[in-house]
Amino acid sequence: MHQIRLGFAALCVACCFCSAATVTAKAQEPARDAPARKAGKSDDLFADVRRKIQREMAESGVPSFAVAVARNGEIIWEEAFGWADLQRRIPATVHTMYSLASVSKPITATGLMVLVEQGKLDLDAPANRYLARDSRMKVWIGDPEEVTLRRLANHTAGLARHVHFYQAEEISLKPSMEESIRRYGNVVTLPGERYRYSNFGYGILDHLIARTSGVTYAEFLRREVFLPLGMTRTSVDIGPGLAEFAAVRYANLDTPIPFYTTDHAGASAVYASVHDLVRFGMFHIGQSGPDQKAILSEESRAAMQVATACMAPVNLADLNLYPGSCYGIGWVIDDDELGKRISHGGGMGGAASKILMLPDEGIVVVAAANKFCRLPWEIERDILSALIPGYAEKSAEHWRKRRETMVKCEKKEYAPVSELLGDWEGFVRTYAGDFPMTLSFKESGDIHAKLGDQLPVLVANARFSNGRLSGSMAGRLDTPDANRREWRPQHHLDLDLKLRGDVLNGAIVAIAGNSLSHWCELRRKAMER
């Protein structure tokens, strides 16, 4: 997360800028092996957006970028800029396949709903029912029956943060999904209690799709989603015969990133062209093309777009004021003065993507780049402002109010509270064994932490709100996965614990190039007299 090579852990990482002016200028040459854009009024309608894209690509060192816009069932603009493969001088086109990162999630959710419609899966059944007996999730707190497929899909099942990538030289170390579930399928909060974005939940869903369908996750999506929707330049990872169409992922203009994989393919592994992705969005707002099959009923598509989880961070000072988004089945949902918006974004090493749908306006906007950057998000308002009269002013006012409200409910600095003062002791449970842990809350406001035989350290950036304790501490968990890469000073442990009477429990997250969560439970020590 701190360097692209070591940091696929962050799904949204800071963009690394470079100033190779000569190379950058060449990288902005438009694609030449396919029509760059739809002919007609869109040329003038999006002229300002086009200039912004080219300027931002040059300033941020983005090798290539592609965008597509549909309205009322017609693609009105699609265009690609720059190079899909800079070293081989292969230009990007609207049919170039980009790594979608987390935009994979609504695609996986669509596959899930196909099986639900076929009667092979039940959204409200416990997920463990569909897993092998020896590789079911461990429900450390709450009722296993409440860990449902729906809650996996809307990030409320109780799983913790999880980002786990295997670089090219590590791929041979990747275990089976059954083993990954044994290691990280830990339900650490009460099912339904909170929203916690979890890539691993979607890894479990792709595993369930394969187990239930009898074919691989990649093959199921190819047969049941991609081909029926006419998405011929879409696959899980880079499918057979498609390598020549895939954009190289870059850390910067002169640093291509070798292929990497993950244990949460359903969250992160899909590649697609913007031409395919905009058609996927058109299907989901009921504006399919004549060559697209109805793989889901209108009722199932609508069910995916129903908000069932508030995405508010749980340790905000006032959750009731939170003005943010909600989550459905694979989709982020906003419904406010700007209208209903269905979307998802994605970002990781060498990838940035976004899909946005306005069903009431009949609009779909998609964008992708082969380097992590903010550009797919930054052009949204410009595109919508070109399509919807008055949108620019309404959007500016909306975001101004939203920022003001967020300030009112932002996280508060930790201050000593009687519920926590004193010493707490317990363990962190990992697949490699348990490690003793203590926390000591001082009246000064300091929090001392000790893990195993490591030296005591202070907890930094502590927050305590709504019964939840968060913070960071120096240290490492002695598991093979958490120590697979060279140790660096920025590697640490994050705390994500809930106070439940005289018990603190939840997750300890090892941040060491990945984010790997483990069950932790601490109990208050009796006061010595």
Instruction: Look up the CATH number of the domain holding residue 517.
Output: 2.40.128.120
Residue in 331, 144, 174 with CA at minimum distance from that of residue 264: 174
Question: Are the C-beta atoms of residues 220 and 226 closer than 8 Å to each other?
Answer: no
For residues 129-145, average pLDDT: 97
Quick check: is 455 in a domain? yes
Beta-strand runs (E) in 308-416: 309-310, 326-327, 332-336, 339-348, 351-358, 363-369
Under 8 Å CB-to-CB from 29, ≥6 apart: which residues? 82, 83, 91
| pLDDT of 120 | 98
Tokens encoding 130:
């569909």
Q: How far apart are CA 376 and CA 129, in angstroms?
A: 39
Quick check: is 500 in a domain? yes
Q: What is the DSSP letter of 223?
A: I
Total domain count, the chain: 1
- Split at pLDDT 50, 70, 90, the class of 314 is low
For residues 347-360, average pLDDT: 98
Tell me the β-bridge partners of 139. 187
- Split at pLDDT 50, 70, 90, the class of 316 is low
Rg (CA), the chain: 23
Determine which of 316-320, 327-331, 341-345, 462-466 has the lowest per-residue pLDDT on average: 316-320
Answer yes or no: is pLDDT of 12 > 50: no
Integer CA distances (angstroms), 462 to 323, 415, 491, in order: 24, 9, 17
Tokens encoding 281:
């969005």
| pLDDT of 361 | 97
Quick check: is 331 in a domain? no
| pLDDT of 404 | 78
- Split at pLDDT 50, 70, 90, the class of 348 is very high
Number of residues that this document lists for the chain: 529
With a pLDDT cut of 70, the percent of the chain lying above it is 89
CB atoms within 10 A of CB 44: 9
Amino acid identity at 395: S
3-state helix, strand, coil in the chain (%, to 5): 30, 30, 45
State the chain's mean pLDDT as an integer: 90
At 404-454, the pLDDT tens digits run 777 766 667 889 999 999 999 999 999 999 999 999 999 999 999 999 999
Under 8 Å CB-to-CB from 27, ≥6 apart: which residues? 57, 58, 62, 63, 64, 82, 83, 86, 253
Quick check: is 311 in a domain? no
Q: Where are the alpha helices (DSSP H) in 252-322?
A: 265-268, 274-284, 298-304
Quick check: is 454 in a domain? yes
Answer yes or no: is pLDDT of 17 > 50: no
Most confident residue range from 351-355, 414-418, 490-494: 351-355
Question: Are the C-beta atoms of residues 117 and 212 closer than 8 Å to each other?
Answer: no
Question: Are the C-beta atoms of residues 308 and 300 closer than 8 Å to each other?
Answer: no
| pLDDT of 487 | 78
Which helix (DSSP H) or strand (DSSP E) does residue 316 occupy? none
The sign of the CA dihedral 412, 496, 327, 276 is positive
- Split at pLDDT 50, 70, 90, the class of 489 is confident
Max intra-chain CA distance, the chain: 83
Q: How far apart are CA 138 and CA 349, in angstroms?
A: 30
Answer yes or no: is pLDDT of 213 > 60: yes
The sign of the CA dihedral 273, 278, 282, 285 is positive
Quick check: is 172 in a domain? no
| pLDDT of 321 | 54
| pLDDT of 207 | 99
Tokens encoding 36:
């760059």
For residues 320-333, average pLDDT: 84
For residues 12-23, average pLDDT: 32
Question: Are the C-beta atoms of residues 91 and 245 closer than 8 Å to each other?
Answer: no
| pLDDT of 434 | 98
| pLDDT of 23 | 28
Integer CA distances (angstroms), 312 to 158, 218, 282, 319, 467, in order: 15, 32, 28, 7, 15
Q: Which domain holds residue 453?
A: 422-524
Answer yes or no: is pLDDT of 177 > 70: yes
Quick check: is 508 in a domain? yes
Residue in 163, 155, 161 with CA at minimum distance from that of residue 194: 155
